[in-house]
Structure 1
Amino acid sequence: MVAGDEIVADETLYGCTYALLNHGMTKFGVKVTLTDLSDIENLKKNLTDKTRVVYFETPCNPTLKLLDIELIAKTAHAFNPDIRVIVDNTFCTPYLQRPLELGADVVVHSATKYLNGHGDVIAGIVVGKADFISQCRMFGLKDMTGAVLSPFDAFLMARGLKTLDIRMERHCANAQKVAAFFTSHPAVAKVYYPGLDTFPGHEIAAKQMKLPGGMISIELKADRAAVAAALNKLQLCTIAVSLGDAETLVEHPATMTHSTYSAEELAAAGISEGLVRISVGLEDPEDIIDDFKTVLDTL
């Protein structure tokens, strides 16, 4: 991309991605437009002859908002076939969702998360058609950005991939049970999980995801201080900004992954002080539920 080019991205993004787009790319003269891509009309009205990239996550971090990959890709390519549709597939992995088969041009993963699955590697992956990947290699981008794993990290990634299917099946099964528990607890105002029939976008999940995933977000009926105090009482689950590990990881987006957002930006992204994101692990689901029940009963 060069100065004057434009990116259209969904308004709900991982905090560091948001920072890169809004505080990084803009300094190089690239215009970034954030909009709600769950309404396809928002994409149509923001595409211009300078648009080079349409970027989004699905499910989105941390609200689990679901976006129709096929519809977005078709709309962008109908406007201009040269637009690159880039999808962050970290929450799903290729086991649950395959954006390239739905029309996306490029898929990115934080391989630190589910692909590795054990919380002991920092890595990322870019997947795309051969011509695009060849361009990245030709211009030395993989070297300039430090995107080369050490041999040992590569070994750990290969180890994790051997159990990806088994782990994702367990993550999803556990998450379904934990989400059902949250829907019945009086301290929980709202549950965000694609596997719930009541969740907006449930139909999209059924269409493009093999299973609903292992990520849940919940809205607690409490202020920031009460939420922090409650989370600190967890015994089995761990407070951490990462996700996709064998252990259940819990975080408070407003003060952790999305702490650089202004109050206005948090509100626009649907991130309240009561929102808690949970990466459901591989433990016995009843143990996870018991840990949360003990904590939520104090609210």
Structure 2
Amino acid sequence: MTSSFGAASSTDEVLSGIDLSGKRVLVTGVSAGLGVETARALVAHGAQVVGTARDVAKAERLAAGIRAQALNGGGLTLMALDLASLASVRAGTDRLHSDGRPFDAVIANAGVMRTSFGHTADGFETQFGTNHLGHFVFVNRVASLIAPGGRLVVLASTGHRTSDVDLDDPNFERTPYDPGVAYGRSKTANILFAVEFDRRHRASGVRATAVHPGVIKTELDRHMKSDEYDKVIEHINAQLAAEGRPPFQFKTVSQGAATSVWAAFAARAEDVGGRYCEDCHVSEIVQGPLGPMSPGVRSYAVDPERARALWARSEELAGERF
């Protein structure tokens, strides 16, 4: 696959020349950061976006700026969704089924990062329950609304390199809790979910991919202490310096959301289906040491057998089969 896009590409560059008029897109987490920019870019290129948010009032305050850039029939509708509550997830999907209109893409964007130890409304560890199980149930319940030829894009992270999923102790009942490990588990789960969803739906022309947006300064880091983030960046820069590479630079929000819209509408489905992508490219599986800003995905995160096992465990935890 050839692509002229990379880490510095913006959402509007990726979508340049692509008319999304008549397309419908479901995006979770449109009350901040990447979700807002993803919705803005899609609406600005003609798509009708249904955006979900836990705090709809907050999302509505940002919606005017998104709608102001709408072109060619683009628009934004908001709906309440709390991924940390399966009751909220099920109520939201029921509303979408009552509406009945199909989606050309679903972008599972919402998430939390490095939270203190806690639980969702259903008793799951907060990060695994919100980032993975909430989306697992939500996306599967709307899967029949994804049109043939449609796509699922699941936001993951290089954080997946921290840890594989733990199917025996997903809620840290026997394992000492570590917020970074918990985040890593949830992001590995996001990738594995995309792998198995793609396998199950590719015959009907629906493909799924997981994407790493890059490191962007958004509200995602709100659970980290002020100096904790600085220490992480200092550590990264020390490693980069040891490798003779330039210091770390944050991506802009538009650059961060670019891979999401690229995977949804610009990339070829056969290239990205079942894969992990970053910087608007498909990533290679890397077995050996990985530098802090080096591209690559760990083999356990794209392992088909591991993906099937996680799917079965997730159905068991959620009490619902798909």
State the TM-score bracket (shorter-chain normalisation): 0.3 to 0.5
* Bigger share in strand: 1
Q: Which has the higher helix share?
A: 2
Give the alignment's TM-score, normalised by structure 2: 0.35
- TM-score of the superposed pair, with normalisation by structure 1: 0.37
Which of the two has higher C-alpha Rg? Answer: 1
